[in-house]
Each structure stands twice: as C-alpha cells, then as structure tokens.
Amino acid sequence: MYDNMALSRIRYLFSRLAKTNYNKMTETLRVLKPESGRNRVWLLLDMIWCALLYNAGYTDYRIAKMYHLNRKQRQTVITRGISNRIVARMNDKAYWHVFDNKAEFNTCFSEHIGREWMAVNTDTTAEQLSLFLSRHDRVIVKPIEGSSGIGIQSYCSTDWEMNVPAFLERLHQNGDCIVEEVLIQHPALQALCPSSVNTVRIATLLGDKKQGVVYAFLRIGNGQIVDNVDCGGMAARVDLTTGTLLTVGADKQGRVFQHHPITHQAITGFTIPHWNACIQLCEDASKVIPQMRFIAWDVAVTAERPVFIEGNSFPSHAVPQFAAHYPDGMGILTEFKQFIDIP
C-alpha cells in the first residue's frame, strides 16, 4: 500500500510539474523571500520537498505558510493533491452537473433558493426576459457554470428599460446564464459589508466514520459585488457550535483584518444570524444526492432564514488553509480524519 502511495505522489508531482505556471511560481518565490526570511534557493528546494512529501503546490505552500511549519504541522495541511483524492473518492462525477450548472442547482434545491430567477439561453425570448425584469429594479447575472465569482455582473433597470432585446443580446454575448433578483441579506451582515452578499461556506461530509459539517467560514466582501477570496474578499473561521467568528479576517494575499477595512466593523466575535438553521439546512441538503458526499454549500442569510447561493462539487481547499486561521500551525486535515480515513 505504501509503495502505491509513493508512486501516486510521484505521478502527481510530475503531473503538476507539467501544468505549473512557472511565471507565477517565480512570483511566489519573490513574494515569500522577505516574508519568510529565507533565500529563494532554500524556498524552491523546500517547495519541491513539500510537493514530494505532501502533494503541495506552490499556492498551498504560500497560503498555509508551510515554510514556517515543522513536519508534524505540515502533515495536517490539506494540499491540492490530498484534496483531489478526497473529492475523487467522495463525489461521483456523474452527479457533478447538478452542482456545476447553476440552473440545475436552483431547480434541485428550489425550496431553499429564496429569490426569483430565470435561466437565459439561446431559446429565451425578449418577451420572457421582459416579464421577469418588470418585477425587479436590479438583477444579478451569473454564468451558468463557473466559480470564484468570475463573470458575475450587477445590472439595474436603466440597463434594459429602453431596449430589452438589446439587453438580451448583451447577455447572449457571454453565453448561457441565470438572472436573479437581488438578495437582501440580514441587517447584521449588511452592516459588516454592504457591497456584497456575505455568504457562509459550510462543508458537509458524509463520511464512513461520521456525517455532518466538517468546517465553516464566513466569506466577507471588500468593496466588490462578490465576496469570493479570488476577487479580493476575505474569510474568517466559524465556530460550528455557536456560529461566532473565531479568527481575524484573512485574504488570499495573506493580509489579516481585525476590523473590516471599509465599514470598520469588528470581525472576530461576530455571530452569524440563524446559525442553527444554517447548519440544519446544509445537513438536510447533503442527503438529497447521496452520491455527492463532500459538498461545500454557499449560504446567504436573510432577515428570515438562510438560503442557498450555490453548492460546490469540488470544494476549494485554499480558504480552509489560510495560515491566519490556524495560528498553532495545525491544519484542517485532522478535522477531516474524524469523518474519513485519509492514507
């Protein structure tokens, strides 16, 4: 078994080497040099060592600050290679489409979407779109597939009121999409950051040992219309029992925030409204498609209840690994091992 594991790691390393963006890796080394206090040769060799032993990519190495970690700590980090193995084992690819296609997801979990929406494709008529738009002053448009907040746009009535057919053509230029009414988040979350709907990423795992929520983070916008960390947002770790933020906010660049830089609201200690309902919503939904055993749910919280924004068939391992969320250097892999065995 250990020989197979070693071969698997070597194959993964060569696969990653073939796909590596060496310009970005060089930039990562440049950024880490002053941050780590190490020279680039040491960092490069250590990065290769972590790739061999832990299937870590250069992004894993930077986000988890693996250059500061000892062997015991490094063994608790979920790297890209480990994440790939978990998803491959837990999620049947034949069912990914339910989560990857936003229209399919909204249809499957329609009871918990909490907003009006419509799919727009080449068959959509201007009359159908006009009827939908007549009920809303503002809408959010999302690509039918995609992640990280890429391609999401906000529009208001002045964009379509004079010429709905032209607006429909504008949507067609970017491919199939869904159009949604704007969700009004809970006043407490609105006060934290009003530019985006600040969602909770709640990951459920139907494990062999245990089933339930394995981790949760609140994603907080930072001036953009989306809260995704790939678009400049930040995240803070959530206590699963109380719904209270345990940590500072942190973004993908490694910056940390005690208070929101725009609203100046305190981040650590903030409590997510309707927390028990958030947990119950995700735990119930995790059983709807049992072939998908590891799902990261993006949950928005309104004044009345939590609702789904989307579900992720291939949860990002980046946000749960931010070094600022694990000041003792012990990563999230230990929490996954309460649910499943990870060789």
Q: Whole-angstrom Cα distance, residue 56 to residue 43? A: 13
Confidence check: pLDDT of 91 > 90: yes
Average pLDDT, the chain: 91
pLDDT category, 4, cuts 50, 70, 90?
low
- The one-letter amino acid code at 331 reads G
Average pLDDT over residues 37-57: 93
Output the pLDDT for position 106.
Answer: 97
Please give the share of the chain, as a percent, with pLDDT higher than 70.
93
Output the pLDDT for position 19.
Answer: 64
Higher pLDDT, 12 or 304: 304
pLDDT category, 150, cuts 50, 70, 90?
confident
Q: Whole-angstrom Cα distance, residue 44 to residue 236? A: 29
Q: How many CB atoms lie within 10 A of CB 92?
A: 13
Q: Cβ distance 179 to 118 under 8 Å?
A: yes
Output the pLDDT for position 71.
Answer: 96
Q: Whole-angstrom Cα distance, residue 113 to residue 106? A: 6
Output the pLDDT for position 10.
Answer: 59
Confidence check: pLDDT of 72 > 50: yes
Confidence check: pLDDT of 194 > 60: yes
Q: Whole-angstrom Cα distance, residue 122 to residue 90? A: 35
Q: What is the dihedral of CA 331, 333, 337, 342, to 10 degrees?
A: -150
Q: Whole-angstrom Cα distance, residue 120 to residue 175? A: 9
Confidence check: pLDDT of 2 > 50: no
- The one-letter amino acid code at 277 reads A
Which of 67-81, 116-130, 222-236, 259-273 is least confident?
222-236
Average pLDDT over residues 32-44: 94
Output the pLDDT for position 16.
Answer: 58
CA atoms 53, 54, 57, 59: torsion sign: negative
pTM: 0.90
Output the pLDDT for position 205.
Answer: 98
Q: Cβ distance 88 to 64 under 8 Å?
A: no
Q: Whole-angstrom Cα distance, residue 83 to residue 317? A: 6
Q: How many CB atoms lie within 10 A of CB 109?
A: 20
The tens digit of pLDDT for each residue in 262-306 reads 999 999 999 999 999 999 999 999 999 999 999 999 999 999 999
Q: Which residues of 217-252 are buried (b: 16+ CB within 10 A; e: fewer)?
A: bbbbbbeeebbbbebbbbbbbbebeebbbebbbbbb
